[in-house]
Amino acid sequence: MPPTSRAERRRDIERRVVEVGRRHLASDGAAGLSLRAVTRELGMVSSAVYRYVAGRDELLTLLLVDAYGELADAVDEAVAAAADRPWDERVVVAGAAFRAWAVADPASYALLYGSPVPGYEAPAERTVEPGTRVTLTLLRLLAEGVEAGEVTPAGPAPVGDTRLLADLERLVAETGLPGGADVMGRALLLWATLVGGTSLEVFGQYGRDTLTAPGALLEHQLRLALAVLRAP
Amino acid sequence: MPPTSRAERRRDIERRVVEVGRRHLASDGAAGLSLRAVTRELGMVSSAVYRYVAGRDELLTLLLVDAYGELADAVDEAVAAAADRPWDERVVVAGAAFRAWAVADPASYALLYGSPVPGYEAPAERTVEPGTRVTLTLLRLLAEGVEAGEVTPAGPAPVGDTRLLADLERLVAETGLPGGADVMGRALLLWATLVGGTSLEVFGQYGRDTLTAPGALLEHQLRLALAVLRAP
DNA sequence: CTTTGTCAAGAGCAGTGCTCTCGTTCATGG
DNA sequence: CCATGAACGAGAGCACTGCTCTTGACAAAG
């Protein structure tokens, strides 16, 4: 009996493919991720990797799911570590963790919230659930704010469009957010602010040397968006 | 004397390279843009295109500058067409035009505000100026609001971090925005909301069928951000 | 008219994703 | 316990990419 069974070896190699792939993704970006290069580093010939991964797209999907999970873990961990602080400060903590993860691994962040890789469609059944974990965490924090009476039922700008109202009400029903469509509209402001501010920084749109404290800027933007949730 | 001189032919081909490149970019995305495919469509052999374009990166730069210009033109045009409306509604008009351009040409939008193409660094001297046109337009509208006394000097969340305060004050000095660092901080909320909301929609992060009126959502988000600029 | 420089074409290099075949090795069912 | 079938790694090969270099034809300028 060999020390490592066939099934064990297979699992081990599958794990290493993803691990090397993640390192290459971090250094070369999604478009530069080469299946051949990953295979070379594993000491195999180029065709052998197809025994473990259906193709480049599947490796990208694995890395995508991985990244969603890591990001959500980082956010949830930060929120849990601040459990004694009020809901709105925990939203800022969550956003700061979101940004910190993105800054630490820009290529993975780009895979999640940047331009979709052309010709590659993430399979919904494997990516939707891990992709919504962060938003669920944020919504849970907002729910605390609603139940504490600190989130106003109506914000400073009414939801005018009737179709938008229907969209928001459907989202409220789907997510179980306590509070109406107006609260959901302001929650989406928070979400857009978080993703927008992070993307602007990580993708270099603020300019090279214009900001010395980008983290503080994002927190400020989040506090402003939170003020809208507390304002009449 | 031939009907078309050598210089004329050259300019014509240079123009057509960019034109075909833009079409390929729109259909295949930045990563799928193939210089060989463009050259084929022009009826030339693959190596001939290097007489007109230094390489793939330069074609991407040309398309990038082009896209920045088109986007800024679309925004400026929409703002000019609403010259009779108040400054804050013109901000919404500008944002809606921004989004409409992005939805109409997602690949170009991704080139501007999505993940940076790995290994490709946009040459600053050719991209910074066209890239800041949209932000300058928005800042001009905000300046109107400040001078009309409708933008409050201090918003609902103070700028706490001192380094952030210095960053914002430098930006105020560089852009000549009437109003202090606090106004600039809220202006960056607006900018992050616009880019974030547009990216979330264009990059498919809202989910496939969750929104029937995405344009209305972005306008709502912008109105909420504008409320922060008018709020104490 | 001659020289100079531009041009398109072609061959070629190194790299990519992916497919197929071919012996070998392992696991398991008779 | 051993034979059969599945899994495996290696290699060759196809079509594609960006890019370089050389070659011969042509136009523009002296």
Does residue A188 lie within 7 Å of nucleic acid chain D, judged by its CB? no
Q: Which of residues 154-193 of B touch strand D (CB under 7 A)?
A: none
Q: Is the CB of A186 under 7 A from strand C?
A: no
pLDDT at A157 over 50: yes
Q: What pLDDT does A118 receive? A: 64
Mean pLDDT across A146-150? 97
Q: What angle do CA A201, A205, A207 make, to 5 degrees?
A: 95
Residue B148 CB coordination number (10 Å)? 11
Nucleotide nearest residue B48, measured CA to C1': C8
User: Which residues of chain B neighbour A224 with C-beta distances below 8 Å?
Assistant: 155-157, 185-186, 189, 228
Reported confidence tier of residue B122, pLDDT bands at 50, 70, 90: confident
Tokens of B221: 């988000």
* D chain positions with any atom within 7 Å of a protein CB: 7-13, 16-22, 27-28
Residue range B26-39: average pLDDT?
A: 93
**pLDDT (average), residues A113-142:** 87
Which of B161, B196, B226 has the CB atom closest to A196's CB atom? B196
Ranges A81-95, B143-157, B201-215: which has the least confidence: B201-215
Instruction: Give pLDDT, residue B1.
Output: 41
> What is the Rg, in whole angstroms, of the alpha carbon atoms belonging to chain A?
21
Strand D reaches within 7 A of the B46 CB: yes
Q: Express each pLDDT in A159-173 by its tens digit.
A: 999 999 999 999 999
Q: Which ranges in chain A belong to alpha helices (H)?
A: 6-28, 35-41, 56-81, 87-104, 106-113, 124-131, 133-147, 162-175, 181-202, 214-230
Whether residue B2 has pLDDT greater than 80: no
pLDDT in tens, A31-69: 899 999 999 999 999 999 999 999 999 999 999 999 999
- Indicate the pLDDT class of residue A3, thresholds 50, 70 and 90: low
Q: How far is residue B101's CA from residue B96's CA, in Å, rounded to a whole number?
A: 9
pLDDT digit string, tens, across residues B127-167? 888 889 999 999 999 999 999 999 999 999 999 999 999 99
ipTM of predicted assembly, 2 dp: 0.94
pLDDT at residue B125 in the model: 80
Give the distance, in angstroms, between residue B34 CA and nucleotide D18 C1': 9
The closest alpha carbon to B15, from B63, B54, B87, belongs to B63
Number of CB atoms found within 10 A of residue B5's CB:
10
The reported pLDDT for the residue numbered A122 is 75
